[in-house]
Amino acid sequence: MMMKPCRVVPVFLALLILIQQQYCYNFQVEAAGGDDFIRSRGTHFMLNGNPYYANGFNAYWLMYVASDPSQRNKVSSAFQQASSHGLSVARTWAFSDAGYRPLQHSPGAYNQQMFQGLDFVVAEARRFGIKLVLSLVNNYESFGGKKQYVNWARSQGHYLSSDDDFFRNPVVKGFYKNHVKTVLNRYNTITGTIYKNDPTIMAWELMNEPRCTSDPSGRTIQAWVMEMASFVKSIDGNHLLEAGLEGFYGHTTPQRRSLNPAGFDIGTDFIANNRIPGIDFATVHSYPDQWLSSSNDQNQLSFLDNWLSTHIQDAQYLIRKPLLITEFGKSWKDPGFSAFQRDLLFNKVYTKIYSSAKRGGPAAGGLFWQLLSEGMESSFGDGYEIVLSQSSSTANVIAQQSHKLYQIRKIFARMRNVERWKRARAQWSARNGGRRIGH
């Protein structure tokens, strides 16, 4: 029986032709490299010689839960469900400072049970083919944050007037650098690989959402990011590094500051901070339901559309580095919430990423906030949680985006193979006096 031709092939070929046209003048497929580290080249991520695009998620709780061996099945379940929906990057905390079940209970003193939990997270991520973005400290008091570092210095007799002295005080900066050095040089008790040598880790993040409201000029954060980026790179030349920014514009681009939501003059600068040489890619967060809480859903989506378009454009032309949308979501606690409205927001973010990716732009992926395993909602739910097995429509939106980005990666892999064949053919022809291959 004659089968009807599948329509997927023409669509795939059309996309291949489009991407080849977009890239023929401004993109060169790299030669293969097989060390599995994700790197940046211009405005693109590269993995083993091919452009890398990824759909992903946040799960800040991974180390905390994995520190109790009896609960590690929740981490495994989260990774398994994520992998089955094509999610391949997870962002999580590599910090927990003082307080209940800390990783670091005082400066330089570590809880090995918590560190072994992080070891398990890295090992399980590797098993499920998931890359990790590991954040090194919090701006907020949750899990200690900059406030705890400042209090540690105060307890040693140092006078600090503000939690923002985290960014200025040399003693506090020394505490932070010691934590960075400890995490990067950690020997994984499960895999036997030192963290700084493990390609499972995609990138380090200097801080979750750094803010310094005491210096809205941005000079304090700029100096801190420059110093800490240089320090991280002096230890680890394998991994990418990002600053943890939400994407608010600063004083170096006054014409952009009107795009910030009202009241967010917080001492960061999306352009200047991300232009720092040691920062390998830019990040942006998107919470229109928080930032424009008095606006309706349509106005929030319009803001989101403009917010993402502008950041993608600036990553392309001003920063000239890849862009990862490292947090976005919509809370079920919002008045009038519906899964349909959440799906619209996810689709808006995903469409912006895909449109950029297919034309060779800098947007390389989005990480929604946040993924939970079944039964975790009462302890870790914050309104933004997604349990994939219980949120079928949103889970479908997520899986479709994963598939679309994976198709782009496959196209680039084919392009690289074609380029390798062309080079081999040219070399053979040169060696054989220009004779043709075949008939």
Q: Tell me the per-residue pLDDT of 30-73, one tens digit each, with 9 for 90 and over.
A: 444 579 999 999 999 999 988 999 999 999 999 999 999 999 99
Q: How many angstroms separate the Cα of 351 from the Cα of each of 115, 147, 299, 301, 388?
A: 38, 38, 18, 13, 20
Q: Does pLDDT of 17 surpass 70?
A: no
Sequential DSSP letters for 78-137: HHHHHHHTT--EEEEE---BSSSS-SEEETTEE-HHHHHHHHHHHHHHHHTT-EEEEE--
21 C-beta neighbours (distance < 10 Å), count: 11
Percentage of the chain modeled with pLDDT above 70:
87
So what's the pLDDT on residue 185? 98
- Tens of pLDDT, residues 134-184: 999 999 999 999 999 999 999 999 999 999 999 999 999 999 999 999 999
Q: Does pLDDT of 4 surpass 80?
A: no
Exposed (0-12), middle (13-18) or buried (19+): which is 10, by Cβ within 10 Å? exposed
The residue that leads in pLDDT, 138 or 336, is 138
Q: Does pLDDT of 205 surpass 80?
A: yes
4 C-beta neighbours (distance < 10 Å), count: 5
Q: How confident is the model at residue 23 (pLDDT cuts 50, 70, 90)?
A: very low
Of 141-145, 157-161, 197-201, 293-297, give the lowest mean pLDDT range. 293-297
Q: Of residues 209, 242, 246, 385, which has the active-site annotation?
A: 209
141 is catalytic: no
Q: How confident is the model at residue 430 (pLDDT cuts 50, 70, 90)?
A: low
419 is catalytic: no
34-42: list long-range contacts, CB under 8 Å, 24+ apart.
Answer: 35/199, 36/199, 37/199, 37/238, 37/239, 38/131, 38/199, 38/202, 38/203, 38/240, 39/240, 40/240, 40/280, 40/281, 40/321, 40/322, 42/320, 42/321
pTM: 0.89
Of 58, 65, 80, 81, nearest in space to 120 by CA:
65
Q: Which residues contact residue 11 at a Cβ distance below 8 angstroms, ignoring those fewer than 6 apart?
A: none
Is 44-417 in CATH node 3.40.630.10?
A: no
So what's the pLDDT on residue 409? 87
Q: How confident is the model at residue 423 (pLDDT cuts 50, 70, 90)?
A: low
Average pLDDT over residues 317-333: 97
Q: Of residues 124, 242, 246, 327, which has the active-site annotation?
A: 327
Average pLDDT over residues 99-122: 96
- Tens of pLDDT, residues 393-414: 999 999 999 999 999 988 887 7
Of 326, 180, 183, nearest in space to 245 by CA:
326
Exposed (0-12), middle (13-18) or buried (19+): which is 310, by Cβ within 10 Å? middle
The residue that leads in pLDDT, 215 or 429, is 215
So what's the pLDDT on residue 435? 56
